[in-house]
Structure 1
Amino acid sequence: MNILLVAGARPNFIKIAPIIDAIKTKQAQGINIDYKLIHTGQHYDKNLSDTFFTELDIPLPDTNLNVKSGTQAEQTAAIMVGFEKELQQHQCDLVMVVGDVTSTMACAIVAKKAGIKVAHVEAGIRSGDLNMPEEINRIVTDSLTDYFFTTSTHANNNLLKLGVDKRNIFFVGNVMIDTLIKNEHRLKQPNIWNNLNLKPKSYLVMTLHRPSNVDEKNNLKTLISQITTLAKKHTIVFPVHPRTQKVLKDLDLNFNNLHYINPLGYLEFNYIVKHALAVITDSGGITEETTVMNVPCITLRSSTERPETCDIGTNVLVGNKTEKIAKAFGFLFSKAWKQGQIPELWDGKAAERIINHLIAIYQLQ
């Protein structure tokens, strides 16, 4: 069996790494399973893509489509054209896509039109917000998927409501957490730790990249101003996403406790997250990591495709509402933050379950 694995953006690499490990384990056991790794090039900033191959010990891609930047339509079209050529040149039994980025949707469409089965890792998650490009990617991808690998019972139920055959839904856990558990002992203190004189549980980490938060200048200015004020004297470490940087360069936002830094690699970023007092973010994936590391997380969104991080995890949704943000900081500084738990099957073995299911489906020996 030959699987074509597709990765295009930072979260994809984190999810692909344990799947490759699981495939290699089965190969060592004599199972007839192989893979090729396709990098679409959707993220091309070194700290958002290339470093993950080194840090997470992922083999270099067999092909890089080098798509790079562009509008949603331009990126989607370029990925589809490049991936179609790839499928014509290299036969495979299955295309596996992960997550919910443009590459996920585009490659699923191309594979299905080529008559190739599609497996979706992290299938079934929904925010209910069609203003998010990722939500559209999820809906389209799942409408074409053959094998659905899910992270939660919430995702299972979403798929069942859509009429997906339950025999094709496999609740396996969270591959992103596989990577975290495997590498937690390797987390690396970044240079900014000493440069900013950081101490455990004395600073905040902030990430912002959602269009609803960063594309409108006044909105971004209001958010950052409120957060830095509420943080009082606590240092805020702000790794700036390229999308956010484009807007920030036209704003004069300088605060004594706010420190802009370049994006960090996986091991360094999760080091500062693990030791933070709290994280303020609009990322979905980070809410999963903070839940497992038991770090309070304030999410600047009004909905989430990962409700388990709120139901039993450390995450709280505040949108960009002034009063909700202030209330969350009040809980944080009064040490009244809820005690989180780790969701079911987030145990570091999700990728192993995925490959075991595929071996059973394809009756590999």
Structure 2
Amino acid sequence: MKILSVVGARPNFMKVAPLHRVFLEHPSIKSKIVHTGQHYDVQLSDIFVRQLNLPQPDHCLNVGAGTPTQQMADIMLKFEGILHTEQPDWVLVVGDVTSTLACALVAVQLGVRVAHVEAGLRSGDRGMPEEINRILTDSIADLLFVTEQAGLDNLRREGVADGKVHFVGNVMIDSLVQYRQKANELDTLDSLGISSQSYVLVTMHRPANVDTESGLERLLQLVDDTAKYKTVLFPLHPRTRVKLKEFGLMQRLSAINNVQLLEPQGYLEFLNLMEHAAIVITDSGGVQEETTYLNVPCLTFRTSTERPVTVKLGTNQLLADLNPETVQQKVLEILDGQPKTGQVPPLWDGQTATRIAEILLRHP
């Protein structure tokens, strides 16, 4: 059985790495990786290949920059040729990025079965491109691998046949479990001149937060308020950096006291920074999950989350009003010793990739 696994953006690497590793343990599985190049920045792709011990991808589509429509069209045209050459039994897509939907569509059109890892997640916000990608990919996939109970509930409500759906856990946590110790052996904190619990880690890149001047003004206020209590570490996503410059706000951000602006971090470095943060403030999906597993307080600056288990069971709090004053209130509560207590969700145990492989082997 031949499986082509698709990666395109940062979170995809952490999900595909444990799957590829487990696939290689089975002589009956031939595993190959296709990198679309959707994230073309070296710091957002190549470094993850190295740190996660992935081989160089078997195929690189080199899509690069462009609008989502341009990227999708380019991926589909190039991926079609790969499928004709490889003739796989399965195309495995992960997450909810442009590459996920584009490659799933091409596979279905050519009669190749599709497995979707991290299926069933819904934010309820169709203004997010990721929400459309999730819904459409789930509607055409042959197997859907689910991370949490909400995913099962969503797919059942949408009429997806129970036989297609499998609750397997969270494959991103597989990577975290495997590399947590290695991350903690790094000198990331020392190199930045900080100590454990002395800082708040901030990540922001969603269009709703960084694509408008008003969104960036809220972000600057959030950072300024937080920096009054703890050092703020802010790795700047390329999108965020571009928008700050576009609106002439980079200098204002740089002038805020007690803030360290960082380049995008490698997987291990960022994992280390997350684990030792007093608080993480984010608009990322995966960070909500990782902080829940690490038992680190997380404040999610979004109107909704597709990962409700991180709020229901985990350490995540959703700041749906997008008000910096609410962030300040929650930061003070946490620093005053009133963090939200959490627990690790079911099947987030580091064995998700093994369960997925076993199911795929039953569908050669």
TM range (shorter): over 0.9
Alignment of 1:40-79 (within 5 A): 40-79=36-75
In the alignment, residue 280 of structure 1 is paired with which amino acid?
I
SS of 2:25's equivalent in the other structure is helix
Q: Deviations over 1:116-165 (max 9, x none)?
A: 11100001100000111100100110111010000011101111111111
- Cα contact 1:149–1:172 (8 A) shared by 2: yes
Q: Would you say 1:184 and 2:188 are equivalent positions? A: no
- Cα contact 2:226–2:232 (8 A) shared by 1: no
Alignment of 1:140-159 (within 5 A): 140-159=136-155
Give the CA RMSD over aligned residues. Answer: 1.3
Equivalence for 1:267: 268
User: Which of 129, 134, 145 is residue 130 of structure 2 equivalent to?
Assistant: 134
Alignment of 1:165-244 (within 5 A): 165-187=161-183, 193-244=189-240
Equivalence for 2:12: 12
- Cα contact 2:168–2:356 (8 A) shared by 1: yes
- Cα contact 1:189–1:272 (8 A) shared by 2: no
Cα distance in 2 between the residues matched to 1:13 and 1:137: 18
In the alignment, residue 173 of structure 2 is paired with which amino acid?
I
- Cα contact 2:298–2:317 (8 A) shared by 1: yes
In the alignment, residue 37 of structure 2 is paired with which amino acid?
G
Cα distance in 2 between the residues matched to 1:190 and 1:206: 20
Equivalence for 1:87: 83
SS of 2:6's equivalent in the other structure is strand
In the alignment, residue 336 of structure 2 is paired with which amino acid?
S
Cα distance in 2 between the residues matched to 1:260 and 1:247: 15
- Cα contact 1:296–1:315 (8 A) shared by 2: yes
Cα distance in 2 between the residues matched to 1:65 and 1:175: 24
Equivalence for 2:363: 361
Post-superposition shift, 1:192?
Answer: 5.8
Equivalence for 1:338: 340
SS of 1:306's equivalent in the other structure is coil
- Cα contact 2:199–2:278 (8 A) shared by 1: yes
Contiguous gaps of at least 5 residues in structure 2: none
Equivalence for 2:327: 325
* Further displaced range: 194-203 or 183-192: 183-192
Equivalence for 2:34: 38
Aligned-pair identity in percent equals 48
Cα distance in 2 between the residues matched to 1:227 and 1:303: 21
TM-score (norm 2): 0.96
In the alignment, residue 305 of structure 1 is paired with which amino acid?
E
Residues 1:195 and 1:357: Cα distance change in structure 2 (over 3 Å):
closer
Residues 1:233 and 1:354: Cα distance change in structure 2 (over 3 Å):
same
Cα distance in 2 between the residues matched to 1:148 and 1:196: 41
Post-superposition shift, 1:90?
Answer: 1.4
Runs of 4+ in 1 over 3 A off after TM superposition: 188-192
TM-score (norm 1): 0.95
- Cα contact 2:188–2:272 (8 A) shared by 1: no
Equivalence for 1:293: 294
> What number of residue pairs does the alignment pair up?
358
Contiguous gaps of at least 5 residues in structure 1: none
User: Which of 350, 354, 359 is residue 352 of structure 1 equivalent to?
Assistant: 354
Cα distance in 2 between the residues matched to 1:164 and 1:18: 27
SS of 2:106's equivalent in the other structure is helix
Cα distance in 1 between the residues matched to 2:212 and 2:295: 32
In the alignment, residue 75 of structure 1 is paired with which amino acid?
Q
SS of 1:57's equivalent in the other structure is coil
User: Which of 115, 124, 138 is residue 119 of structure 1 equivalent to?
Assistant: 115
Equivalence for 2:97: 101
Post-superposition shift, 1:62?
Answer: 0.5
* Further displaced range: 190-199 or 115-124: 190-199
Equivalence for 1:280: 281
In the alignment, residue 125 of structure 2 is paired with which amino acid?
D
Q: Deviations over 1:266-323 (max 9, x none)?
A: 0011101100101000001001000001100011001001000000100001131234
Post-superposition shift, 1:191?
Answer: 6.4
Residues 1:49 and 1:58: Cα distance change in structure 2 (over 3 Å):
same
Post-superposition shift, 1:85?
Answer: 1.0
SS of 2:26's equivalent in the other structure is helix
